[in-house]
Chains A and B, each alone.
Chain A
Amino acid sequence: MVFSAPVLNYTLLSPMLILLGGALIGVLVEAFMSKALRPITQLSVTLGSLVLALVQVWRIRNEQSMTAAMGSVVIDGPAVLLQASILIISIISVFLIADTEHFTALAASLPGSEEERHAMQTGSQVTEVYPLTLFAVAGMLLFPVSSDLITLFVALEMLSLPLYLMAGLSRRRRLASQESALKYFLLGAFSSAFFLFGAAFLYGYSASVTFAGIRESVVGGGGNDVFLLIGIAFLSVGLLFKVGAVPFHAWSPDVYQGSPTPVTAFMAAATKVAAFGAMLRIYYTSFANAQWSWTPMLTVIAIVTMLFGSLVAIAQRDVKRMLAYSSIAHAGFLLSGVIALNKAGLEASIFYLFAYGIATVGGFAIVTLVRDSAGEVTDLNRWKGLGKRSPWVAAAFAGFLLSFAGIPLTSGFIGKFSIFSAAYESGAKSIVIAGVLSSAIAAFFYIRVIVLMFFTDPVEDGTSVEIPSALTSITVIFSMVVTIALGVFPAPVLNFISDLATFIR
């Protein structure tokens, strides 16, 4: 037996390798560096690797390769666009994570224990959140570029496991935070099992785990269609869980609420890009020719997701839960881009993911600023009159909400318009109608928050708006500028996406 050494194209893989390297350095820093120096070192290592990875992604933007890692990774236009989006979102999320106020002093200590009190007093910090972030981002970069089911699964776990941990690191209400982490972990484990089950059936169907192999079998026909259907169905469950589509959404409100807000921002924005990226790739390449077996299912899920997310969001009294349901509704909108199954749909989805991700991080950045003596205030009733106390913060939040609602001159509108027109073009008219209706419903609760902030008088209950740190300000200002710029003058970004967004098969 001849052993053939694997051939790896290190340039094309470099963004992921840089992040993994950075994460490993982070682990070493955690082990060997003195406590005092850790925070700043970790922050620089993390930001440094993210920026370096982004530069590297930019340099490979015109490359196309199926063989970057022995056929397990494919680098093409959409891959570059998705990786760049994930990296940009991660960078501005790390700015939020740098605010240690949100994280517990010692993750291993029991809530309320002597140990925890001691850790708080000595001012220790959970700097391990940085390498965890890097591992998660590396997984997210790998997820949408995987081109076989095994790599896809590895990437799924790689991005999920650090997130499970990070969800439990909240400083306040630690029990709720840990509960949300456990919930996320358990449901995530279930969905991974479904995913593997589906992968096994797809292997049974096509005798291949690569996307190209599955595609060949689908195009050629002749396989056992029952296996294909079961395979697609169960694989979809795993993916739909990650994007938070109904009926696999149950985790997201609790996890959004329980996690430290910077982690929520990172998870909500970046995971969505990665998961939808992977979904787009597998549906647009492997399953494209079997579209009649999955579009009806996804259409129903998309419509239910949009309407459910928008309707239930109306009843929310907590800003983080409200944003969670809003993100469920957005998952429904994004699914219409998957269903569209045309180039316009792919471009629209990528634009939407980027625009939505940026606005989401910006929105949660604002949430981190509204506090009282016991930490963040997420009860919407206590956001009353925020516009009076700090008009700029409230105006920025209103801007993000208007973008979520899809009001013209914000990025959300361009995203919604392009994704719905792509869906309409593919004949999915019911989705457009449901999308428009749920947008109308959703507008109601976004506007209600604006009313609370601007048209209600403040209550004196100790709620105040923190002066944002320099890093948080960068995040907010950057997100706002992108949100407005993509709404008013989206042409350069749309053209850039349009030039690159073609999957190679």
Chain B
Amino acid sequence: MNSLTLLMFLPIIGSVAVAATPKAKETLTKQVALATTLIVAAATIAIAVGFERDNVDLQFVEKYSWIPSFGINFAVGIDGLALVLILMSTILAPIVVLAGWNEAHGGRWSVKVFYILILVLETMMIGVFAATDVFLFYVIFEAMLIPVYFLIGGYGSGERSAAAVKFLIYSLFGGLLMLASIIALYVMSGAQGGHTFDLAALSHLEMSSTTQNFLFLGFFIAFAIKAPLWPLHTWLPDAAQSATPGTSVLLLGVLDKVGTFGMIRYCLTLFPDASKTFTPMILVLAVISIVYGAFLAIGQRDLKRLIAFTSISHFGFITMGIFAMTSQGHSGATLYMFNHGFSTAALFLVGGWMISRRGSSTIADFGGLQRVTPVMAWSFFLAGMSSLALPGMSSFVSEFLVLVGTFTRYPVHSVIATFGIVLAALYILIPVQKALHGPTTPGNENLSDLNLREKIAIAPVIAIIIALGFYPSPLLKVINPASAHVIAQMGFTDPAPTNGDK
């Protein structure tokens, strides 16, 4: 079976098809792109169906020799964590294409280039989560910056090129630190039985604790920039503000997850001791991110920047869940990654429609949308509720799990983080009130409501958010064994049982 490789290359094939469409027929280009992403989503679901939930080993494993002289393989395989994230990415992709049907028109280049970039990016999104060879992971991790860079700089708005450069420089810097660590791992593996980049083999390397700490930092800083964790987050608001809503969804929803995914998959697996050493520091950063992101979100006047800051707060929760080192915390963090993808998608997509209709992204310019455009307003409201983790929404389950999982070991952090939830109510309810309720602001009387295409795009997102809010167990059944496995590998046992959702 080589289903994962096939899945990875489907979008590339689609991008060739997109490139072959005539330039004049933009609709055809979009249709081909949409069809490709739908096929990929269907294929991913097929893979998910074939996934054995209780098997904690990697599944769908494939391995081809790539650069034998360095011991580099094209090796892929998925566990529950990777599967959930791939599922999220491939489901979000068609939604982004459909929701941002006209996004590419304001760009520097043609519509075709936009969709080629999106599809190439989709291949890399699958690959980055599926890779089990550290070198392959690094290559994709760095290479995926390039399409995003061109998506922001070429199709964004406002200070798009500055934002794109900021994004790229931050990420490259982190990536290069990681490269130094990877080189060290490679050299050590050579000294201990042959050069390899195999994740499983590398996790058994013997190294001194000083070395381990340094190498851990190389990886962790790269992931903390990606995730983004305070104080390395400053690129995100600019990038999110300048990118098109669809690009922002992919950037915050999928790419930033590579950071938190990497913390689990690489930091914890490769450097268990160093992870424990740095846990107190990282938890403090996570709590700061939660509170800081929330406070700054409250102060934002720009809708897109507001969503970006809410994400910084949410990534704080995810990081806290990961480093709480309990299986609930881990399950919660993984579920949070999935849910955050969809709630951010909902916020950005609906927010993007509001902005493109109004021609402004300042929250104060909206007002009374409830009366003028009820469907759009309700969608935004639901997206907001999901972001503040209202019970009944999917993010509630994950936030709860993270807090419970953290509380059993780090009660103080957990309690402070809980204030993040209170602040979340503020940063969501203030824009909801300003934009949706009250008298209709002059200039908004003639805004049109969501059209059929937009309704079709947003419906599955909201459906997933609500369905998983009431019945998260299908996902948790995939996530729990994987999380328990990581925690067990780290040598932790859960403290006094405080059963969450099992």
Contact = CB atoms under 8 A, between A and B. Distances in A.
Interface stretch (A239-247, A438-446, A473-481): A438-446
Interface string A446-463: 011001001110000000
Contacts of A502: none
B255 to A, nearest CB: 16
Contacts of A443: 168-169, 172-173, 176
A490 B69 CA distance: 10
Contacts of B69: 347, 491, 494-495, 498
A420 B142 contact: no
A70 interface: no
A440 B176 contact: yes
Interface stretch (B153-161, B331-339, B369-377, B384-392): B153-161
Given A424-B187, A454-B108, A436 B179 contact: yes
Given A424-B184, A491-B68, A495-B69, A451 B153 contact: yes
A181 interface: no
B63 to A, nearest CB: 15
Interface in B144-167: 145-146, 150, 153-154, 160-161, 164-165
Contacts of B142: 407-408, 413
A498 B173 CA distance: 31
Interface in B336-374: none
A421 B183 contact: yes
A505 interface: no
B492 interface: no
A402 interface: yes
A455 B184 contact: no
Given A424-B183, A451-B161, A455-B108, A495 B143 contact: no
Interface in A399-449: 402, 405, 407-409, 413-414, 417-418, 420-421, 424-425, 432-433, 436-437, 439-440, 443-444, 447-448
B191 to A, nearest CB: 8
A421 B187 contact: yes
A59 interface: no
B186 interface: yes
Interface in A316-347: 347
A456 B159 CA distance: 11
B419 interface: no
Interface string B162-197: 001100110011001101100110110010000000
A491 B153 contact: no
A388 interface: yes
Contacts of A489: 66
Nearest to A429: B184
Contacts of A414: 67
Nearest to A391: B109
Given A436-B179, A455-B161, A455-B164, A407 B169 contact: no
A432 B215 CA distance: 13
Contacts of B154: 454-455
B138 interface: yes
Contacts of B140: 408
Given A424-B187, A444-B169, A451-B153, A436 B138 contact: no
A408 B141 CA distance: 9
Nearest to B66: A491
A388 B108 contact: yes
Nearest to B161: A455
B186 A407 contact: no
B172 to A, nearest CB: 5
Given A451-B161, A491-B67, A408 B138 contact: yes
B165 A447 contact: yes
B278 to A, nearest CB: 20
Contacts of A494: 67, 69-70
Nearest to B146: A407
Given A443-B169, A447-B168, 19 more contacts: A402-B146, A405-B172, A407-B143, A407-B145, A417-B70, A421-B70, A424-B183, A424-B184, A432-B180, A436-B176, A440-B169, A451-B153, A451-B161, A456-B161, A491-B67, A491-B68, A494-B70, A495-B69, A498-B69
19 contacts: A387-B108, A388-B108, A407-B146, A408-B138, A409-B139, A409-B143, A421-B70, A424-B187, A432-B180, A436-B176, A437-B176, A440-B172, A443-B172, A451-B164, A454-B153, A455-B153, A455-B161, A495-B68, A495-B69
Cβ-closest 7 pairs across A and B: A455-B161, A408-B139, A494-B69, A408-B142, A421-B183, A436-B180, A436-B176
